[in-house]
């Protein structure tokens, strides 16, 4: 079989939606990561690169954000276009207009739509109604932009992805779903440790296992965090109560009490492990201050790479 060349990959991505990593081939995911690193180099060198000159991205926010809003808006500016902030309360969908009608209307004005919302079906419905590319900025089910930048960050620090082990300790939420699929697409081994009742979605685990079979990635879910973190190259965690689950904070603190990523737990990882967190973080809850602010932490490299990974997505599909 002939290798897929970059021109073919670039062509395959043009005009596509970016909703979940399961929709992309291993070659396409790696292409986006390599493109992100290339665009980062251009930006650091002060090179002007405006492939989206004259184009506008509509950014719908039904969930609050720091990194998503700023990185998409700055990213569009650096690519020569502009980002337009659209609060869910400002749009007619906040007053009952259908997603379909909103998608059809916005498609007449914009060149792309990014949405950060609660229900994953909202993004699916938006993409079905739109005639322009739609980007999933976060749902309760997936966070593909974050996962893409995370694997970019790991590659920059470790020099490779294939065969590395990522250990995720905590809630089986949208973040772990996208990390799992990214691992499966990129040949990364991943182990997850969650308390009973907080495991990743069974359908996503099934999809991940199917994708992993093609790349040799090893995926496992554990109850014991020490078992999951053993010999890990990367240790990852997230808040115990994501947006929309704040009312469960107290009961989750009890359930996750033995799942804090701290100095004692990380002794089981490799001595040169990387610590990652998608932020915002609650120091003293899911992670100790000594770990998140320690020498192994690369959390702000992750945060920066949201800009570059999302620029790659926008440049590729818009």
116 has catalytic annotation: yes
Q: Is 149 marked as binding a ligand?
A: no
d(CA 6, CA 291): 39
- 238 counts as catalytic: yes
143 included as an active-site residue: yes
310 catalytic per annotation: no
Token pair for residue 162?
A: 């294939």
Q: Cβ neighbours of residue 101 under 8 Å, at least 6 residues apart?
A: 129
220 labeled binding residue: no
Please tell me the distance from the alpha carbon of residue 60 to that of residue 182, in angstroms, as a whole number. 25
Candidate list 16, 30, 120, 143, residue with the active-site label: 143
**Strand (E) positions, the chain?**
56-61, 82-87, 112-116, 134-138, 165-169, 189-193, 219-222, 234-237, 274-277
- Set 30, 78, 120, 146: catalytic member: 146
- Exactly one of 17, 78, 238, 308 is catalytic; name it: 238
Which residue in the list 16, 30, 116, 177 is annotated as catalytic?
116
Give the CB-side neighbour count of residue 53, counting CA atoms within 13 A.
4
Query: Which residue has tokens 């685990």?
Result: 205
56 is in an annotated binding site: no
Say if residue 145 carries a ligand binding annotation: yes
Q: Is 105 annotated as a binding residue?
A: no
260 is in an annotated binding site: no
146 catalytic residue (yes or no): yes
The reply to whether 209 sits in an annotated binding site is no
Contact 137, 286 (CB under 8 A): no
- Residue 297 assigned to a binding site: no
| 92 annotated ligand-binding residue | yes
Write down the catalytic residue from 17, 120, 150, 278: 278
Q: Which residues are designated catalytic?
A: 116, 143, 146, 238, 278, 306
Residues that constitute the known binding site for carbamoyl phosphate:
65-68, 92, 116, 143-146, 278-279, 306
Which parts are annotated binding residues for L-ornithine? Answer: 174, 238, 242-243
């Amino acid at each position: 079989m002939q290798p897929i060349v970059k021109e073919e990959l670039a062509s395959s991505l043009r005009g596509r939606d970016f909703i979940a990593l399961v929709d992309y081939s291993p070659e396409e995911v790696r292409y986006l990561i390599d493109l992100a690193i290339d665009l980062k180099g251009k930006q650091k060198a002060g090179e002007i690169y405006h492939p989206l000159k004259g184009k506008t991205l509509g950014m719908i926010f039904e969930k609050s954000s720091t990194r998503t809003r700023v990185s998409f808006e700055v990213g569009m500016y650096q690519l020569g276009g502009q980002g337009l902030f659209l609060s869910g309360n400002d749009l007619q969908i906040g007053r009952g207009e259908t997603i379909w009608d909103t998608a059809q209307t916005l498609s007449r004005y914009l060149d792309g739509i990014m949405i950060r919302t609660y229900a994953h079906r909202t993004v699916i419905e938006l993409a079905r109604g739109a005639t322009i590319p739609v980007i999933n900025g976060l749902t309760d089910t997936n966070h593909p932009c974050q996962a893409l930048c995370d694997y970019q960050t790991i590659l920059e620090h470790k020099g490779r992805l294939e065969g590395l082990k990522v250990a995720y300790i905590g809630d089986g939420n949208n973040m772990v779903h996208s990390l799992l699929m990214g691992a499966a697409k990129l040949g990364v081994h991943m182990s997850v440790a969650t308390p009973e009742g907080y495991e990743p979605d069974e359908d996503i685990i099934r999809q991940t296992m199917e994708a992993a079979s093609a790349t040799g990635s090893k995926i496992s879910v554990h109850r014991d965090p020490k078992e999951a973190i053993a010999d890990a190259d990367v240790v990852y965690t997230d808040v115990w109560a994501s947006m929309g689950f704040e009312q469960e904070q107290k009961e989750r603190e009890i359930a996750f009490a033995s799942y804090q990523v701290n100095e004692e737990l990380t002794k089981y990882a490799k001595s040169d492990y990387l610590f990652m967190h998608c932020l915002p973080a609650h120091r003293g809850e899911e992670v100790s201050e000594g770990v998140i602010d320690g020498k192994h932490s690369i959390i702000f490299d992750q945060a920066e790479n949201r800009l570059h990974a999302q620029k790659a997505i926008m440049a590729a599909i818009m």
